A = this chain, B = another copy of it.
Amino acid sequence: MRADATRNREAILRAAEDLLAAHGAEHVSLDRVAAAAGVGKGTVFRRFGSRTGLFQELLAERAEALARAVGTAGSPLGPGAPPRARLLAFLDELAGLAERNLALFAAHERACAEDKYADPTYVRWHGHVAALVGEARPGLDASFAAHALLGLFDADLVGHVIAEGGVTRLRSSVRGFAEALLG
């Protein structure tokens, strides 16, 4: 990749972030992103393929730290921890991530509406959660339960809960729900 291409790529990602933060997820069109990045529209599409691709990449970037934490032993998130605690810790992290990136979650959701199960980040999360559910609560349809648990971070729901009680409420509601489910 040419140096200017790398620079533009970064500029586009940062512009998308800024627009998401400034206006809602609804008002971030690719024309706007391109303009804000000081770049032609074609460049956005060449780099990211589509609106979907852009937001997938952005989410992947924001989810990277979590993915690393999940992979490294030592924390309650990492391998070695008991499945139930590991799952609860993961969901708690996800709650934080969703709160900090609410607009991005919303935009990502909209963009991936067709075939959300094709999103790499979602797939990774789902695999992780399903595996832990399978260990922590055998007998359940683990894949189904994992989709349901990830559904807790639907942007509308998160926004609604946060509007009423902030992240604290979200975290405790999620935890309460998961604990009830896991028995």
Chain A interface residues (CB < 8 Å from chain B): 26, 110, 113-117, 137, 139-141, 144-145, 147-148, 151-152, 154, 156-157, 160-161, 169, 172-174, 176-177, 180-183
Given the interface pairs A151-B151, A183-B183, the reply to whether A176 lies near B110 with Cβ below 8 Å is no
Since A148-B148, A148-B157 are in contact, a sample of 15 more A-B pairs with Cβ atoms closer than 8 Å, ordered by chain A residue number, is: A26-B114, A110-B113, A115-B156, A117-B160, A137-B180, A140-B176, A140-B180, A141-B169, A141-B172, A141-B177, A144-B161, A148-B152, A151-B154, A177-B181, A181-B181
Closest 7 pairs (CB-CB, A-B):
A151-B151, A141-B173, A144-B173, A181-B181, A147-B157, A180-B181, A140-B176
| A157, chain B: closest CB distance, angstroms | 5
| A164, chain B: closest CB distance, angstroms | 9
21 sampled A-B residue pairs with Cβ under 8 A: A26-B114, A110-B113, A115-B156, A116-B156, A137-B180, A139-B176, A140-B176, A141-B169, A141-B172, A141-B173, A141-B176, A144-B176, A147-B157, A147-B160, A148-B148, A148-B157, A148-B177, A151-B151, A151-B157, A180-B181, A180-B183
**CA separation between A117 and B183, bound complex, in Å?**
29
When the two chains form the complex, which single residue of B137, B139, B151, B182 contacts A148, counting CB atoms closer than 8 Å?
B151
